[in-house]
Amino acid sequence: MMSIMRGRLFEKVGVHCSTVHGEFAPEFRAQIPGAADDPRFWASGISLIAHLHNPHIPAVHINTRFVVTTKAWFGGGADLTPVLDRRRTQEDADTIAFHAAMKEACGDGNGVADYEKYKKWCDEYFYLPHRKEARGVGGIFYDWHDSGDWDADLAFTQEVGRAFLKIYPQLVRRNFNTPWNEADREEQLIRRGRYVEFNLLYDRGTIFGLKTGGNVESILSSMPPEVKWP
């Protein structure tokens, strides 16, 4: 199920709830834990991608998922993408608040989540090698998460969602009245181009969806509504 929302504040928001099952294609099986033994899979997840009108409000992404092959694991995370260079720092108030929220989510997960590991994983994952730059300012990212305590792993994944629900509206309210100009808009559109490049070239979710015969409109809904390459 896909919902696309547009408005005065949110230029484009895509929200997805998906449950899919089938068999991985032969060329894809070696990349998925447990799929080499049996290509059948079941997966369910929630994802959200938001692009805002005001360049001072960072774009954001969150995804949580549960995947079953002959093995089973949780994955997901949330990351923040400011679109103005002067806001793309670890000292920016939005960055500090977002990191604090994700750290709290890991701390509430019954001891099964390693915040420093998942923070580092996010920095490494959301990186554009051809640009030699990060997509945003980070957050957390995790995959193949299976501590052996399914209930604790589920609780951790739920906490990631709850932490996002708490912090991101705060960032939106903090910034939506901040004045911006055409130069800021131009910078925002160019930065969105980097977002497109990452999602089409490197994003596992995009690749997974296309390889498993998913709904193309849904898979590509993370694309910004307007973008520029200088």
Q: Which residues form the catalytic set? A: 61
In angstroms, the CA 39 to CA 141 distance is: 25
Of 109, 44, 52, 31, nearest in space to 74 by CA: 44
Of 71, 78, 65, nearest in space to 41 by CA: 71
In angstroms, the CA 214 to CA 205 distance is: 11
